[in-house]
Chain A
Amino acid sequence: MSVRKNNIKKVLVIGSGPIVIGQAAEFDYSGSQACASLRAEGVEVVVVNSNPATIQTDNDVADIVYIEPLRWDVIEKIIEKERPDGLIATMGGQTALNLAVELHEKGVLEKYGVEILGTGIESIRLAEDRGKFKELMQKIGEPVPESIAANSMDEAFEFAREHAFPLILRPAYTLGGTGGGIARNIEEFERLLELGFNLSPAHQVLVEESVLGLGEFEYEMIRDSYDNCITICNMENIDPMGIHTGESIVVAPSQTLTDDEHQMLRSAAIKIIRALKIEGGCNIQFALDQKTGKYYVIEVNPRLSRSSALASKATGYPIARVAAKIALGLGLHEIRNAVTKTTPAAFEPALDYCVIKIPRWPFDKIPEGDRTIGTQMKSTGETMAIGRTFEEAFGKALRSIEVKKPKIRPEDIEYHLTAPTDLRIFAIMEALKKGWSKERICHLTNIHPWFIDRIENYVMVELRLKREPFGRKLLHEAKKHGYSDEQIASIIGHEAEMVRQMRKKAGILPAYKMVDTCAAEFAATTPYYYSTYEEENESIPSCKRKMIIIGSGPIRIGQGIEFDYCCCHAAFALREMGIEAIMINNNPETVSTDFDTSDKLYFEPLTYEDVMNIIEHEKPEGVIVQFGGQTAINLAQKLEMSGVKIVGTPAEGIDIAEDREKFKQLLHKLEIRQPENATATTEEEAVAAAAKIGYPIIVRPSYVIAGRGMQIVYDEESLRNYIKEAVEVSERRPVLIDKYIEKAIECEIDGVADGERLFVGGIMEHIERAGVHSGDALNVVPCVRLKKAVQEKIIEYSEKIALALGTIGAINIQYVVQNDVIYVLEANPRASRTMPFLSKAIGIPLIKLATKVIVGKKLSELGMREMPKLKHYAVKGVVFPFLKLPGTDTVTGPEMRSTGESMGIDDTYPAALWKALLGAGLKIPESGGVAISLKDGDKERAAPLAEELEKLGFVIYATPTTARFLPPNTNLLKKIADGEPNIISEIKKGKIHLVFNTPKRGRIANTDGFKIRRTCLERNIPCITSFEACEALVEAMKEAREKKISVERANEYGKDKKRQS
């Protein structure tokens, strides 16, 4: 503990809520680092977050945890209960920052005497209010692009008349550039302006003169209360201005700046951070005209950000840890760098490597989304790679991102370069291979020629491998340029294993270098490594008992922060047992890649080769693959074939569970039902099988992750279309067909098996009807609809299946129940995305339990027997990325589309549900109009809903066919084609505040339903697309109205009742 100026004893840290595009795992990373840092100073830490899949909401990370919706009125209740001395607003992204401002404005902070620690409200306002920020910059003589913070359409249009297009529009106080864009003409301008005013909480839009195409540079800065300022890192966006930094490929440190240019920007950054009086971390963006040397200040994030997570991982400097101590009043010179233990926190990291970050986009899951990239974030995650040269880091990043190399047709290259799209980097490589001139590529992309040279240098190796005779020298060259064995093998037409063996025989092995913040100037103790093909290997394997945990790579739809949470817990559990935990991962946002989560961290791609190299170097007792999502699972078989010991469920069990035929046989043997199913390798086979099974069916390609390409099909014609358009069918890639069990309840269990028994953590019942992907479904634990006997049967089946698969560790099994008949949908003998949620719901850390079992403990030894009986309810809410992805429909279905989850926890089901929905960001109205437009089958059941809503004081609107089933005073709306009033017109008039719209058949663009849903989305009006969810919402609204919803420490729910009974 060090000496602090103030006497803060208890601090509230606000988290960032569910993962959404633009706000992901980085805030769990900064938040949990801050918690540890504050506690080390003797401060009691209270955390509030609605996202259960976060390390910061673990009971051993914070002292007191609230899993509650992130709304100011909810946080007021927490403040009232806990009475913290201070609040830290800069660790939870834009969400926490906005909440802090709101709490201040509502007088809550003053009322309870809560001090804002670190960067204060005034600084936040100065940085976030576009008008004030511009004024401040002009005052201190820092250049900004001409702009106006428009509070009205008129103001904006006046500016547009005086300045040439393109113009940049940005709504104030939104995250990840939501609603922002580039207007190239007056029509686009008007559309973006309207959207911006709707989305900005302050009803303000910044309209700005364009700096498109200029170089984009970021400075990660820290300032303390002594006015000491340092730069942690500068970063250069390869994609120039006009592309959000979250969407850009970014390199650290800057590569094209001379020292005087770098110092000019660094000095400006210091001037700005001082003028803003930031106390903590902050990120400053500049645009630089590299022809003239003139720069502009673009914006400041007065908080920890995705960039600061990247900068932390890129440099080894723990920004959040230091920022938290600064918030307590410590100076940079009074803080030691916990990473190196040798340097003070007042030290600017020196890198002796090159870092590249590449975003990961969701277009593989949402193919109809508009693939162009710009000022609004669309990517869900990112990967980072470290190399001693740009080329090496680039090659490693390209394999870490885990996307199949796209085929780009020559005629499309120019489109991808200029639009640009997410495929631009691949298009550049393709263009270089096709012999395009570098000047032309630079001209079309505005990318600095230095980067095009480097990419050319990278691509040249491929051409050399094609043309020149293969040998040891060329192999070594290729490795130094970041090529994988597999890549080399496919270029020269050999097996990857052959290249690998030759390489090893030739002694071409990776060396592991340390990320030490100081370029080896001082001896550091950081256990953080990356590979390169050089002489000295700095990673010395210990002779302790050790295991490797394979991480889950970049965050994507279907593989989110939940798996990172699992990997962290596995590391914690191993360390608790005195086993050295070695982590391999490449996601810079996460806690798993924090330097002290594991005993040793390898920041590497997660391919067979990269992982195997580490295994051969470290020689661990075993490798754990069951926590890293599909990324890790995909490696299991190959690793096992290479003689690696996979601890936990053997690869065979994983294979049986993933192979439909083998799994079918297993269930048959166990006498457990499964929806009728078949496998087809041709279109005709599929049609025949479907006829036999009977429509509707669910079709999907084999070996799927997160329901990719999955669809419910109702007739032969649609089936034929699906096969032609959506998937490739072949012997090797069959299509899977399942009977779609209608009008049924879906549910799933998460548990831990030790080979003898299965401990079921809980049965999570889906609130929507079967057919919604489990990742997208709202679910509740304990069950509210399934009968006790059915639940018992499910537990019995689960144990049978888990044991038959040889499960050692975590398992998730999904069921569908129709008229009390239980069918198994799938079994996944590994960690599922619901495990963190369920662990928090039942108060048992399932992943730690699984890890201990993997290492050899028995469930009985660990005291785990019956499924816990809860006296409270937990509901999982979900968050979708549709607002960020124009052109997408918002209907949920068998394909997973959500990015994140929230958790609502309370003593009653409706209250928990209400919290889950609020936590997921749903704006539930308290009065106003509700529009109802339902499909056949739902309409008939809608009357009680409408009546209930009327009782709550809502005005009901409905389309003609739905209205027939509703009470007589329902206001009639026309179909959109028949003119006004219709749902859209009334939404625009502000009469409607909630929409129930259940679509007939999945997502079809340009239907009325699609237009309605998009309109709701853009106006932030909740639109519920499943009837069961509508029912649940009404119930929750009723509960919220009748009973005051209260807050409780997360581990206190259910306990009061016990005391009462």
Chain B
Amino acid sequence: MEPEKKAVLVLAEGSIFFGHGFGALARRVGEIVFTTNMTGYEESLTDPSYAGQILVSTYPLIGNYGMHADHRESKKIQIEGYVIRQLCSAPHHAKSNSSLAKAMETEGIPGIYGIDTRKIVKIIRESGVMPACISVYEKEEDIQELIWMAKNLDYSKINFVERVSQKEVLRYGNGNKKVVLIDYGAKFGIIKELTSRGCTVIVVPYSTTAEEIETYGPDGILISNGPGDPALLGKESAELKKLFDYPMFGICLGNQLLAQAVGAKTYKLKFGHRGGNHPVLDIKKNKVVITTQNHGYAVDEKSLPVEFEVTHRNLIDNTIEGISHKELPIFAVQYHPEANPGPYDSKYLFDEFVKQL
């Protein structure tokens, strides 16, 4: 039998949680955030928007149905560490070909379970997201070291997009419509939604210039989701401004970048929106959609220029969930219409985008 793994989680505000370890024997730092999704752990772990973060699942029973490539939103696990209440080590599902623990071990990611995750969530809720340090070890761990690391971690200037964006140009599908997807850390789900609607998707690195994008002769442009602070991507959003002749659809970080492109500001939310149950009001239709959310920043409404209007709003905190150009076929949402994980209520947005191509 393998020796039992131990684990510890240290939060920058001082709390320390000792639990059982799983995944890789490793010490990692990151911003600690939580998601309220009850299913879809594999989709979340592999979502590039979580790059640089230690993820807490509020749902306590994790790993039940194992792992399968179909559930991946990128090629690898993107988080720095995973914090859960109970780990299922013997998953059951017709498609499962690995357990969560095994996959995390293979990909070098540490995980901790058996701790009061609800207490951690409440700390994050009260104090906001913060740096944390997670360590999985066999014998002993130097807690002081971990505290020092958690307290001294500063990720505010790190460009996580650089880390997760594709380095080369990739092509998916072969439909009639051509969409250039600017990859800031795009989820596979977005590509799937486009190809299934008869689009050819050309995925380009985030640093691709407007001129280069135009050389692909796109019918439309998708500005993808991605991790980190949009304010670090000033240059990239300036490029977007040059592409306003094309139909554009922004998702999550894409929404923030589009807003930035026209001079709007973004700000950091206390503990973000992460989960699959946030109600968003489609203002024009006066209808509610339940959405998948994963963002730590929001667009500042006061700074939004007049040519844009707010089309969607979060029913809980009233933050902007969608904007649209008043005349041009350019729109964006702060949430994830591609779901994975989460409800499919907003997939119609892809239909609307493709219609405009």
Where the two chains meet, the residues of A that have a C-beta atom closer than 8 Å to any C-beta of B are 226-228, 230-231, 253-260, 262-263, 266-267, 270, 290-293, 331-333, 342-344, 346-354, 388-390, 448-450, 453, 511, 513, 518-523, 534-536
Q: How many A-B residue pairs have CB under 8 A?
A: 158
How far, in angstroms, from A256 to B66 measured CA to CA in the complex? 10
The smallest beta-carbon distance between A260 and chain B, in angstroms, is 7
Whether the Cβ atoms of A522 and B316 lie closer than 8 Å is yes
Chain A residues with Cβ under 8 A from B290's Cβ?
230-231, 346-348
Q: A255-B61, A257-B65 are in contact. Are A347 and B85 (CB under 8 A)?
A: no
Whether the Cβ atoms of B39 and A351 lie closer than 8 Å is no
Whether the Cβ atoms of A350 and B38 lie closer than 8 Å is yes
Partner of A351, one of B59, B86, B119, B125: B59
A-B residue pairs in contact (CB < 8 Å), sample of 22: A226-B288, A255-B61, A256-B64, A256-B92, A258-B40, A259-B39, A259-B40, A263-B342, A270-B345, A290-B93, A292-B94, A333-B288, A346-B279, A352-B58, A352-B121, A390-B61, A511-B116, A520-B122, A520-B125, A521-B34, A521-B36, A535-B115
- Chain B residues 1-33 with CB under 8 Å of chain A are none
Whether the Cβ atoms of B39 and A257 lie closer than 8 Å is yes
Chain A residues with Cβ under 8 A from B116's Cβ?
511, 534-536
Where the two chains meet, the residues of B that have a C-beta atom closer than 8 Å to any C-beta of A are 34, 36-40, 43, 58-61, 64-65, 68, 70-71, 85-86, 88, 90-95, 115-119, 121-122, 125, 275-279, 281, 286-288, 290, 315-316, 339-345
Whether the Cβ atoms of B341 and A522 lie closer than 8 Å is no
In the complex, the chain A residue whose C-beta lies closest to that of B43 is A259
Whether the Cβ atoms of A453 and B92 lie closer than 8 Å is yes
How far, in angstroms, from A752 to B118 measured CA to CA in the complex? 46
The smallest beta-carbon distance between B191 and chain A, in angstroms, is 16
In the complex, the chain A residue whose C-beta lies closest to that of B96 is A258
How far, in angstroms, from A634 to B307 measured CA to CA in the complex? 72
Chain A residues with Cβ under 8 A from B288's Cβ?
226, 228, 230, 331-333, 346
The smallest beta-carbon distance between B315 and chain A, in angstroms, is 5
Contacts A259-B40, A450-B64 known; 14 new A-B pairs at CB < 8 A: A259-B37, A262-B39, A263-B341, A267-B344, A333-B279, A344-B315, A347-B315, A350-B58, A350-B275, A352-B60, A450-B65, A521-B121, A534-B118, A535-B119
Chain B residues with Cβ under 8 A from A453's Cβ?
88, 90, 92
Whether the Cβ atoms of A350 and B36 lie closer than 8 Å is yes
How far, in angstroms, from A333 to B288 measured CA to CA in the complex? 7
Q: A389-B60, A520-B58 are in contact. Are A344 and B279 (CB under 8 A)?
A: yes
Q: A333-B288, A513-B118 are in contact. Are A258 and B93 (CB under 8 A)?
A: yes
Whether the Cβ atoms of A348 and B277 lie closer than 8 Å is yes
Chain B residues with Cβ under 8 A from A389's Cβ?
60-61, 85-86
Whether the Cβ atoms of B92 and A534 lie closer than 8 Å is no
Whether the Cβ atoms of B71 and A260 lie closer than 8 Å is yes
Q: A259-B341, A333-B281 are in contact. Are A519 and B316 (CB under 8 A)?
A: no
Whether the Cβ atoms of B117 and A352 lie closer than 8 Å is yes
How far, in angstroms, from A267 to B276 measured CA to CA in the complex? 14
Closest 5 CB pairs of A and B: A259-B40, A519-B58, A350-B36, A348-B277, A259-B341
Partner of A344, one of B36, B125, B316: B316
How far, in angstroms, from A260 to B71 measured CA to CA in the complex? 8
Whether the Cβ atoms of B39 and A519 lie closer than 8 Å is no
Chain B residues with Cβ under 8 A from A228's Cβ?
287-288
Q: A347-B316, A349-B277 are in contact. Are A263 and B339 (CB under 8 A)?
A: yes
In the complex, the chain A residue whose C-beta lies closest to that of B89 is A453
Whether the Cβ atoms of A519 and B287 lie closer than 8 Å is no
In the complex, the chain A residue whose C-beta lies closest to that of B59 is A352
Residue with the highest number of chain B CB atoms closer than 10 Å, among A292, A333, A513? A333
In the complex, the chain B residue whose C-beta lies closest to that of A267 is B344
Chain B residues with Cβ under 8 A from A535's Cβ?
115-116, 119
Q: A259-B39, A388-B85 are in contact. Are A354 and B65 (CB under 8 A)?
A: no
How far, in angstroms, from A941 to B258 measured CA to CA in the complex? 93
In the complex, the chain A residue whose C-beta lies closest to that of B40 is A259
Whether the Cβ atoms of B59 and A519 lie closer than 8 Å is yes
In the complex, the chain A residue whose C-beta lies closest to that of B34 is A521
Chain B residues with Cβ under 8 A from A450's Cβ?
64-65, 88, 91-92
How far, in angstroms, from A331 to B43 measured CA to CA in the complex? 32
Whether the Cβ atoms of B316 and A259 lie closer than 8 Å is no
Chain A residues with Cβ under 8 A from B341's Cβ?
259, 263
In the complex, the chain B residue whose C-beta lies closest to that of A347 is B279
In the complex, the chain A residue whose C-beta lies closest to that of B66 is A258
Chain B residues with Cβ under 8 A from A259's Cβ?
37, 39-40, 43, 71, 340-342
Whether the Cβ atoms of B343 and A256 lie closer than 8 Å is no
How far, in angstroms, from A350 to B35 measured CA to CA in the complex? 10
How far, in angstroms, from A636 to B58 measured CA to CA in the complex? 39
In the complex, the chain A residue whose C-beta lies closest to that of B44 is A259
Residue with the highest number of chain A CB atoms closer than 10 Å, among B39, B86, B339, B344? B39
Q: A258-B71, A347-B279, A348-B277 are in contact. Are A353 and B92 (CB under 8 A)?
A: no
How far, in angstroms, from A140 to B345 measured CA to CA in the complex? 17
Chain B residues with Cβ under 8 A from A331's Cβ?
286, 288
Chain B residues with Cβ under 8 A from A518's Cβ?
36
Whether the Cβ atoms of A351 and B38 lie closer than 8 Å is yes
The smallest beta-carbon distance between A531 and chain B, in angstroms, is 13
Chain B residues with Cβ under 8 A from A519's Cβ?
36, 58-59, 118, 121, 275
Chain A residues with Cβ under 8 A from B68's Cβ?
258
